[in-house]
Every structure is written in C-alpha cells, then in structure tokens.
C-alpha cells in the first residue's frame, strides 16, 4: 500500500487567511495528501503568511523552525500576503523551499512535485495587477462556526496599508457561489457562518471580473438570510461608509444575522483620518453607531483603532481616546502602527517614538477592557441564546451569545455545538459571564 504524503498548515493573520488555508488544504487532500496537525510530523508544511504588522513578519521564522523540529527534512512552502509582498525575504529563510504569491497559492499542487528539498528555493509570484480573478473559499475550523469568504482585494488607498499591494483589486464571488458554499456549510451541521473578505461592504464589485455591479452587499445579506439550516450569520468587519441604513434596518429584523458589527475607525481625529486617506470622518462614524443602537439596542459594536500613526500628537491621541470613551461601543481591537514598505505613511515625517506608541496602545487596551465590562454588565439579567463551543477549558465549556457576550458553564460534552436560551447571571473573576439555563431540559 502506498503511504499518503502528509501535509500540515499554519495560518497567520485574519479570518480570510483561515478560509483560504482550508481551501488550499482541501485541494491537496483531493490530490491524495493526508492533512495532519502542525505539531505532528509531516512531509510538507504550508505557512499562510500575513503582513499587516511587523510581528507577523517576525513570527514567520519562528514557525519555520517549529516545522523543522517536526521534520528536519520536510518541504516548507510559504503562501499569502507576505509571500506576495516580500518573496525574496521569505525564500532566504533557511529551510524554505517554495514561495507562492497571490494568484499561485491556490494551485500549490502544481508546484511541489515530489517534495524533494532544493538547494535553491523557488519563487512564483505574479505582478499584483494579475490578481484579478476570484477563488471561492471557506474554512471549517471547528464544529461550531465557519469563515466564508465573499470578497477579496481592495480599491481603497489607505496610506498605512499594504493589503491592495498583497491582494490586488476589489473583486467578489458570484452570489450563487456564496449561497452554494453557505448551503454546503449548513449541511455539515455548523451553526454559525462568519462572512469574511478584505472589504466586504464593497461586495458585488468584480463579480464578473469587471467593475460592473449586479449585486450589492445588501443583496448578499438578504439572500443569505434565506438559506436553510444556517442558525447564525455574523459580519466580520465592514467599513463605516459602506454600512448603509438599509443594511442595519434589515439586520435588525433578520432571521439569521446576529446583532454584532465590527466597524474600523482607526482614529478619532479628523485630521489623521484625512492623512490616512480614510473615506469618512468622525461625524459619519458617530452616526453609524447611533443608528445601530437606535434600531438594535443590545447590539455589540467592535472597533479597530491604530495608535502612533505618523504625526499623531498627544492632542490627536486624546481626541481618539475621548471619542471612543464617549461612544456606545463594546470593545476595541488596538493596533500599534508599524511602518510598512511601499506605503505612503512610511515616508511621512513626524514619526511617533516606539515608547509613546506602546504607552498609547496600553491606554486604549485598558479602555477596551472597561468598555467590554460595561457592555457585559448592560446584558446581565437578559435572556439570550448561546452557541456552545467544543473545548473543555479548566472544567468549563464556553460559548458566545448572539451579541458576542462570552459565557461559561460547567463542562458538559452534550452541550457542544448546541444552541440554548440562557439568562446571564454575573461577571466572573476572569471577565467571563456565568449563566443559568432558561429551560430545565438544557440542564439535564
């Protein structure tokens, strides 16, 4: 009997990367490989890279070493955003055999041959202008939720961002493809789908390989809401200027979409938003938050924010801090600005010292803890629905309510991947909310 070659994957970065790793993995399994965990011995290790922060760059070398510990003779391939932006850097890392760019990564089976190690690594990386076609993807990482890619690339020119250089122009999956993938996921008894992409509010553009729009993001949302067997749909992140009133109103009365938005802000200073070339100012952002809270009062709202952007003075930072403090939001994702090659911001003056960036980052992370706690407190006593996850963490099973409150109850394997109505009781010492079941049968 011929032994199957074993392949393992490691994904850095965003939900979009996870969805694409799963698609690449499925294609290799179809070609006869056996997928194993990254900490197991494999014949080939594939690392899906990210370039959003410098830490992701540094982590790549650590992961290569980890793969070599698993099997010193293994074939190592790098794909993804960092592979597109800096292929020569990656191929120069000891042990790396193959680097594939934005368009080549989905055809990895065509490049790996017999998995023999090369003295010289190979790079196959297109000009990013060639990344103009769409590859459908979805990830099933656990039994409870899946990441479904609906859009790729970005036409925005934010001055700090390398994503357009790494992923190319904005383009979308066809509506029929998205619905087919969503049905495939639902048929596997997965209860929640998270929609993902680079700029998903731009959905529809490039559905036919050009800029013609047949469908909009609202059309997508309405169509997905009708798919049988999906209990929950969650929007991963959407630009404030693309989140329209009609979408908010629809989600407020939707069957499947949950009351949770993640809306990038990046700065609470209009002056810095202009320097960043964002497509809105703070008044529009405030308007979006107020609209959401008006029609979905218990909605969870997450915010991305960057600290230490070139030219950010103490006054700019305090504007951001106070702006966020006064907004009715639920948590923050805080990014410390890091210089990225070939971006406009990298050549701007008025560089903020690293120490100052770190201090500001800590202040906003502390604000995030305060905001999350206040949001959790506002939900105590409410009856909500929890989707329980699959891991036993110190004798507890965790889950999330539809509006993204993290809860726990003593471990019970029968609860895994099930939905239950619960009443939120109190915030435990670890910041996670305890509960009681709303019905007696769930406690049995």
What's the pLDDT at 165? 87
Q: How many residues does the chain have?
A: 444
Q: CA of 411: how far to CAs of 27, 388, 390, 417, 426, in Å?
A: 36, 10, 10, 13, 18
Residue 15: per-residue pLDDT: 82
CA atoms within a 13 Å half-sphere pointing along the CA-CB vector of 115? 17
Mean per-residue pLDDT, 69-74: 91
pLDDT confidence of residue 106: 86
Share of residues in the chain with pLDDT > 70 (%): 92
Residues 140, 333: Cα–Cα separation, whole Å: 24
pLDDT confidence of residue 137: 82
Would the pLDDT of 235 be above 70? Answer: yes
Nearest one of 52, 55, 54 to 80, comparing CA atoms: 52
pLDDT band at 130 (very low <50, low <70, confident <90, very high): low
What's the pLDDT band for 401 if we cut at 50, 70, 90? very high
- Amino acid 421: pLDDT: 97
Dump pLDDT digits (tens) for 172-225: 999 999 999 999 999 998 999 999 999 999 999 876 655 666 799 999 999 999
Is residue 440 scored above 80 in pLDDT? no
Strands of the sheet containing 232-235, edge to edge, are 138-140, 145-149, 192-196, 232-235
Q: Are 364 and 334 spatial neighbours (Cβ–Cβ below 8 Å)?
A: yes
How far is the C-alpha of 275 from the C-alpha of 286, rounded, in Å? 19
Q: Which residue, 87, 105, 7, is CA-closest to 51?
A: 87
Alpha-carbon distance values, 32 to 18, 35, 408 (Å):
21, 10, 40
Instruction: Check residue 385 and give its pLDDT.
Output: 97
Model pLDDT, residue 181: 94
| Structure token pair of residue 199 | 């700029």
Residue 365 has what pLDDT?
Answer: 96
Q: What pTM value is reported for the model? A: 0.88
Mean predicted confidence (pLDDT) in 414-428: 96
pLDDT of residue 306: 97
What pLDDT is attached to residue 376?
98
What is the band of 227 on the pLDDT scale with cuts at 50, 70, 90? very high
């Amino acid at each position: 009997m011929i032994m199957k070659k074993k392949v393992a994957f490691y994904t850095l970065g965003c939900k979009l990367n996870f969805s694409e790793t799963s698609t690449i993995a499925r294609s290799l399994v179809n070609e006869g490989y056996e997928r194993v965990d990254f900490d197991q011995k494999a014949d080939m290790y594939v690392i899906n890279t990210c370039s959003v922060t410098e830490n992701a760059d540094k982590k790549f070398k650590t992961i290569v070493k980890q793969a070599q510990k698993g099997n010193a003779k293994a074939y190592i391939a790098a794909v993804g955003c960092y592979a597109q932006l800096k292929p020569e850097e990656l191929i120069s890392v000891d042990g790396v055999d193959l680097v594939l760019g934005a368009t080549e990564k989905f055809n990895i089976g065509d490049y790996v041959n017999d998995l023999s190690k090369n003295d010289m690594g190979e790079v196959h990386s297109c000009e990013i202008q060639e990344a103009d076609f769409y590859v459908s993807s979805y990830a099933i990482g656990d039994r409870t939720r899946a990441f479904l890619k609906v859009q790729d690339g970005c036409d925005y020119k934010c001055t700090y961002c390398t994503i357009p250089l790494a992923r190319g122009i904005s383009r979308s999956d066809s509506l029929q493809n998205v619905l087919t993938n969503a049905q495939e996921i639902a048929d596997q008894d997965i209860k929640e789908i998270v929609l993902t992409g680079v700029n998903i509010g731009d959905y529809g553009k490039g559905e036919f390989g050009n800029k013609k729009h047949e469908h909009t993001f609202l059309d997508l949302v309405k169509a997905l809401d009708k798919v049988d067997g999906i209990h929950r749909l969650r929007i991963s992140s959407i630009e404030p200027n693309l989140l329209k009133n009609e979408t908010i109103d629809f989600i407020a009365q939707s069957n499947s979409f949950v009351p949770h938005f993640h809306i990038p802000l990046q700065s609470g200073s209009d002056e810095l938003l202009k320097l960043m070339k964002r497509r809105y100012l703070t008044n529009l952002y405030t308007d979006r938050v107020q609209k959401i809270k008006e029609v979905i009062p218990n909605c969870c709202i997450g915010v991305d924010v960057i600290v230490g952007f070139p030219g950010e003075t103490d006054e700019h930072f305090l504007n951001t801090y106070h702006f966020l403090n006064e907004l009715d939001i639920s948590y923050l994702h805080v990014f410390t600005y890091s210089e990225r090659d070939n971006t406009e911001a990298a050549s701007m003056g008025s560089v903020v010292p690293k120490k100052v960036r770190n201090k500001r980052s800590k202040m906003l992370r502390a604000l995030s803890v305060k905001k999350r706690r206040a949001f959790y407190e506002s939900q105590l006593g409410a009856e909500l629905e929890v989707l329980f996850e699959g891991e036993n963490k110190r004798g507890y099973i965790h889950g999330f309510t539809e509006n993204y409150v993290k809860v726990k109850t003593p471990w019970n394997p029968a609860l895994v991947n099930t939905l239950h109505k619960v009443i939120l009781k109190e915030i435990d010492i670890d910041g996670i909310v305890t509960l009681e079941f709303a019905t007696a049968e769930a406690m049995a």
